[in-house]
Structure 1
Amino acid sequence: MLVYHPIFDIHHGLFRLCFILDHHPSKEIHIDALRILDFYFLFPYLLSSFDFTQGAGKQGRLLAGPRSKYNMTASPETLLNHLRGLNHLTLTALASKNILAPADLELGVARRTDVALPETIFDAAQERDIELASYLATKLGTIPLYGPKGLKARSHLLEYRYDPV
């Protein structure tokens, strides 16, 4: 049986990262934060274990949806770590087309440039995808990355204890 999941699809990765960045208020985000948001876009049910900021939890839990035995991952932290190379490849591809600023990418920041994307690129997005990307970019994507109340700590996906604060 052939099973498809967008996690390993580079073209879907391009779509996801552009989709999240285009919904972010500043169109600029740290690469690790973008990786976390992308991971939650792929596995929204994992939002149920996120430590939400005040006022963001209700919508986040609604978007998480129910867990089932068919959408479980053994170790989200390990899976996110395995995706580092694929995320790097996707970000580099976007920078090579000047969709992301190459100089900022070298500094660890994904910044959307003014290069226009094809108008039809987001046509395949479903209403739930739009709502999820908007939520992730505006509610979670604006949380500082570092510190005990940062995005890394709240998600429990990346190590945060040794970060500069």
Structure 2
Amino acid sequence: MLIYHPAFDAYHCVFRMMALMGLIPDLEVDKARLLDFYLAFPSAINDIRLPSTLAHGRRLAKSLSNTYRDPLNPKAAFRDMSQIQLAALRNIAALGLIDLNGFEQGFVKRINSVAIPESLGENLSIYLTAQAEILKFLSNGLAQIPLRGLDGLKHRTALLEYRYDTP
């Protein structure tokens, strides 16, 4: 039996990454991957060790129902999404929408001089409006937590290894 989920759709991943880059024009690749995961599975925010300033994220996670099924094992789902997310970012870099050298160094930086096609821009605008609540939490909340080290986003989510990070 085949089950569709947008988390594992490469084109939808490109779209989600473009939406995130519209709100956060400069971030680490791993942070972009984490934010994309929580955009695809907003209820998984419940599993994050959130700082007290972001405790409202739990209420948000409970209020957002996922049209598709939630992952049985978030860590395995995140690992399975890895190659799709990296391929999506490579495609965006190939289009010249993000800095290729920065991407190779582990950063996603939007290049504003390259225009997004009008139809894609319209669809992104509709998506940003429809997903405003979760995108606001991701961009103004989770994205502000440092990625690396103890109590960094990798540590708090337990989706990526943090113990061997260099400061």
TM-score by length of 2: 0.87
1:7 equivalenced with 2:4 (yes/no) = no
- Determine helix, strand or coil for the equivalent of 2:123: coil
Please name the residue that 1:112 is paired with: 110
Give the AA of the match of 2:115: A
Partner of 1:150: 152
Q: Alignment partner for residue 60 of structure 2, among 54, 58, 63?
A: 63
- Cα shift at 1:127: 4.0
Identical-pair percentage: 30
Name 2:16's counterpart in structure 1.
16
Task: Give the whole-Å Cα distance in 1 for the aligned partners of 2:145 and 2:99.
Answer: 22
Shift of 1:141: 0.9
Q: Could you report, residue by residue, the CA deviation over 1:88-118 in whole angstroms, capped at 9, with x for unpaired residues?
A: 1100100011111111000000111102223
Q: Relative to total residues, which structure has the larger helix share, 1 or 2?
A: 2
Q: Contact 2:23–2:139 (CA<8 Å) still a contact in 1?
A: yes
- Equivalences, count: 161
Q: Where has structure 1 moved over 3 Å in runs of 4 or more?
A: none
Residue 15 of structure 1, CA deviation? 1.1
* 1:138 equivalent in alignment to 2:143: no
Contact (CA 8 Å) 2:19, 2:124: kept in 1 or not?
yes
| Structural RMSD (CA) | 2.0
Q: Unaligned 5+ residue runs, structure 2?
A: none
Deviation at 1:72, TM superposition (A): 3.4
Following the alignment from structure 1 to structure 2, what is the Cα–Cα distance between the partners of residues 86 and 34? Answer: 13
CA–CA distance in 2 between the matches of 1:79 and 1:2? 16
Could you say which residue in structure 1 is the equivalent of 2:166? 164
